[in-house]
Structure 1
Amino acid sequence: MIRLTALFLLLSLSVSAQVIEEERLKAHVEYLSSDRLEGRGTGTPGEKKAGDYIIRSFKKAGLKPYPGQKGFRQEFMAKKGAAGEVKAHNILGYMDNGKPYTIIIGAHYDHLGKGDQGSSLKPGSVGEIHNGADDNASGVAGMLELARYYATNKKTENYNFLFAAFSGEELGLLGSKYMTEHSGIDPAKINLMINMDMIGRYREDKGLTIGGIGTSTVLEKWGPELGMCMELKYTLDSTGVGPSDHSSFYLKDIPVLFLFTGAHEDYHKPSDDADLLNYNGMKRVTNYVIQLVSHLDELPKIDFKKTSNPHANATRSSFKVTMGVMPDYSFSGNGLKIDGVSEGRPAEKAGILAGDILLKVGEKEIKDVYGYMEVLNTAEKGQTVTVEVLRKGEVVRLKLTF
């Protein structure tokens, strides 16, 4: 028997399921991932064009600059390898419904430019445009369609909305971290942050990863229940941290939800193009957000919970092994800085400490979180490797068994 709460969701779904339009999603992605934007590298003219496009969409939806900001652009300085510091911009659009609490819906709009930012997974690709259709024109398209929906649905929700397009994500979550620290945001006034990062490759066999459900008891209940009602295949991940911008908000004690349709062979390569995306799948993911917010609209402010181990409650993990560390996603230096070490996991047994900077695992040099994720995807359970960490200025070598 379908419970009344689930039945309510199914009925409300029938009303709004066609609101998000595939053609609009496709048009956003095709522009943002076109060659004319040259991969939207942080601080580049191509990224500025993307920002102009987002601002035009915000204005068309009737959004205003976030209170305290002079305009839609929030400028910050971003460290960018050999280029040194460059000017980067978050794009923030606000819908003031006169309510005490706000929901943030965000997506990063920067990508790898012409492969010169150090994160391309195609060898020798410097000079090639990395269009980033899935990563993350897809999430931006979903965010823009949600802004249009909430501006035109002839309803005043019980929340204000802050729509955020982040820059500097590929360089270490720089934009979202800056936003949380320099926008005057009171975490107690934020009900939820929803992060849409790579929502363009939904597959029926793989489904949608719904991350962050452990950051609130409400999300723990309604995250999976809603996925079931909408007949989405899904994987649940409880943790509030991950290699994307929701981490910056979780670290400020804000409940987060992270929507992600999974990595693929075109990830961080020039081949991540618009014609490979599943636009019907993007619409389904975006409608998931509408249905969740519709339910939250009937509730008081949701609670915040600290989560334990990353991926501890995942129903399916994309990694073969775990080290049991919590990365510092705001760290912009060389290597992976470790924020926390889980008890009883391989890292703790090896002697790795919070504050260490992971430099090497076996023969693999770790330059950033993506290199770390590669290791987790290729190492085998039971394998023993030598790891190198930088600890208080000294390189320490340890033996770690996965």
Structure 2
Amino acid sequence: MKAIGKRLRNGVTLLAVATLVASCGLPRSGPSKREIYSGSVEQNGNAYVVEVTDAVNRATGTVPALGFSQAFLGAPLAGSDVIQPGDTLGLTIWENVDDGLLSGPGANATLLEEVQVDGSGFIFVPYAGRIRAAGNTPESIRGIITDKLEEQTPDPQVQVRRLAGDGATVSLVGAVGAQGVYPIERPTRSLAAMLARAGGVTIEPEIAQIVVLRGNHRGRIWFQDLFANPQLDIALRGGDRILVEEDTRAFMALGATGTQQRVPFQTNTLSALEALSQVGGLRGNSADPTGVFVLREEPAEIAAAVLGKPGVTSPQRMVYVLDLTRPNGLFAARDFTIRDDDTIYVTEAPYVQWNKAISALTGSLSSVNAVDSAAGGLGN
């Protein structure tokens, strides 16, 4: 009995020493679950700690709102033969006389190649003068030139061709097959067609975004939405600038996860379960599946819906709690939407600190004999 009592006293002594060692600040990956809860508004802290439920998922399940304004969506397809400032025209003029105004002796046709449309939209034709070309079709310009020359030479015949010019062009840069400046032609008058002309996108379609700059207007859409919604295939205009870039959103993973780092989104929408899988899941030998937290600065309108407080008028610090051990826990994590700049933090299981404390005293908790020997040594 004395031996049993002695060993009991030794065990109590070892427990007290281990508790003291644990309280002295052993190395750990971050705050414990209890410490996070102690920082809640209910505990006079500055963050709301909210358990994730189906109702919370409905209130917070938002994704970036990307799209084109009506200025883009309402623009009709531009006529592929409408002349723009900067275009180049080719003119051929036939005269029904042997010695015409423009043609030399023995010739009745005059070829005017590469007639440049100036910045004001005009061209100059000898004996016809300065003619408005921008906004007109080659057929309209032909009629104008014919009327002007008809007063000076009998029955002139005019042919107008639109050559390759830099007036009705768009520039494509970023993650496309071939960056460059492309003319707007009949097959490439829409955004999707022009992207195909440039070789398509060279990054994963799920994270590709298309930006269109037109004067002071800017529109941004997801590449996948462009093909899922035909109404987003907007008509192009000369001078449009098109940028294809990778989604820049990312979240931070900390604590008892497979890796601790800033992680870029790999899909258009990302759930908490998918985010955890991207970082290798929970660390099997130390993670607490009841302590998965998502930290976020929540906009006022969403915070008001989550908290049931219509009076919320400013962004709020929110700490969402996912308990993966509950019957609905994995479903809640699957339906919880991760947003840009979120921080996912997984706490360590309570036994981890205890194990560290014991290991600090004994060097290992794996051997019962080692623990018993340490307890016996403390009691002598």
TM-score (norm 1): 0.20
Which structure: greater strand fraction? 2
Q: Which structure has the larger Rg?
A: 2
Greater relative contact order (Cα 8 A, min sep 6): structure 1 or 2? Answer: 2
